[in-house]
């Protein structure tokens, strides 16, 4: 049986790319019974007599997956956050990073609309960028009018499956248009009333960019830590994970325990307090989560 990768899911159809081209497929009825939901990025086995009438027979094992946006087998996530309109939010960025780290996906932080920022905003955003770089994250700035800034992103895309994600209205489609102008993806301005962009992307699709695949995904503004447990949280913050080996107690949550190396590092300036505060907030959110049965 032929095998391929789902590159688009739309209206119950799955478009599978393989050596001979692209085949439109449906999922087997047994998938619904077994609660198997094929995702863009899945490696699948399928059968088809022509290019428009195929059936997916098997979804191969995934190395990772995201719920929102729904995509599997991602190598890296390009997290797009704007300097203005909407304003840069380190809290929202850290929510994204928590989920990305939990799924063992490499994050790249891309801060857009730097050309629209005034001097004070630019200094504030650059200070955040400096801190994230010290942690070990790749951070780059882009602007709608500076295509050369996007060129710095291109080498990171080759040979990888990347997801472009971020808050609505931050410029994800604009970024893809700069990477591949012939796409002419629809973009929209920010709603003055709501302070956010319209969801200009309606489905997930993998698009060839250079020698890699990039997913343009529907915008969203919140992330739920559905599968993350309290004991996982530290590992999602690299600087906390590094310091946690020096804590007195194994399994230290870095909140109420004495002789905690993480809290000491925060007090001494070795860990940014806003990052620690976000960690504490996320741990509390996980603890408050209703148990699943």
Give whole-number Cα distances, 168 to 88, 102, 136, 171, 196, in Å.
Answer: 12, 23, 26, 8, 6
DSSP string, 135-158: HT-EEEE-BTTBHHHHHTTHHHHT
Q: In the Cβ-directed half-sphere of 68, how many Cα atoms lie within 13 Å? A: 14
Contact 253, 261 (CB under 8 A): no
Q: What is the pLDDT of residues 245-255, one digit of tens each?
A: 999 999 999 99
pTM: 0.82
Cα(11)–Cα(13) distance, integer angstroms: 6
Q: What is the pLDDT of residues 168-205, one digit of tens each?
A: 666 677 777 778 777 665 544 433 333 334 444 457 88
Q: Encoding tokens for residue 39?
A: 């995702």
């Amino acid at each position: 049986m032929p095998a391929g990768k789902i590159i688009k899911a739309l209206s119950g159809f799955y478009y599978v790319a393989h050596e001979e081209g692209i085949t439109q497929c449906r999922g087997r009825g047994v998938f619904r019974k077994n609660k198997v939901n094929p995702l863009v990025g899945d490696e699948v086995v399928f059968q088809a007599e022509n290019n428009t009438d195929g059936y997916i027979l098997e979804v191969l094992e995934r190395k990772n997956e995201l719920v929102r946006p729904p995509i599997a087998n991602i190598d890296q996530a390009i997290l797009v956050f704007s300097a203005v309109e909407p304003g840069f939010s380190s809290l929202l960025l850290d929510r994204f990073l928590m989920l990305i780290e939990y799924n063992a996906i490499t994050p790249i932080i891309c801060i857009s609309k730097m050309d629209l920022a005034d001097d004070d905003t630019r200094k504030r955003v650059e200070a955040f960028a400096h801190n994230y770089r010290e942690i070990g994250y790749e951070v780059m700035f882009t602007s709608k009018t500076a295509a050369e800034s996007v060129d710095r992103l291109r080498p990171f895309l080759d040979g990888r499956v990347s997801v472009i994600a971020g808050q609505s209205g931050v410029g994800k489609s604009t970024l893809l248009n700069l990477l591949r102008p012939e796409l002419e993806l629809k973009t929209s301005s920010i709603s003055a009333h709501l302070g956010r962009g319209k969801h200009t992307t309606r489905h997930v699709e993998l698009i060839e960019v250079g020698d890699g695949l990039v997913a343009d995904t529907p915008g969203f503004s919140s992330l739920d830590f559905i599968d993350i447990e309290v004991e996982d949280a530290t590992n999602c913050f690299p600087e906390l994970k590094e310091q946690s080996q020096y804590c007195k107690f194994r399994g230290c949550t870095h909140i109420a325990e004495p002789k905690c190396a993480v809290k000491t590092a925060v007090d001494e300036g070795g860990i940014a307090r806003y990052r620690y505060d976000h960690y504490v907030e996320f741990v509390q959110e996980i603890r408050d989560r209703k148990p699943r049965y």
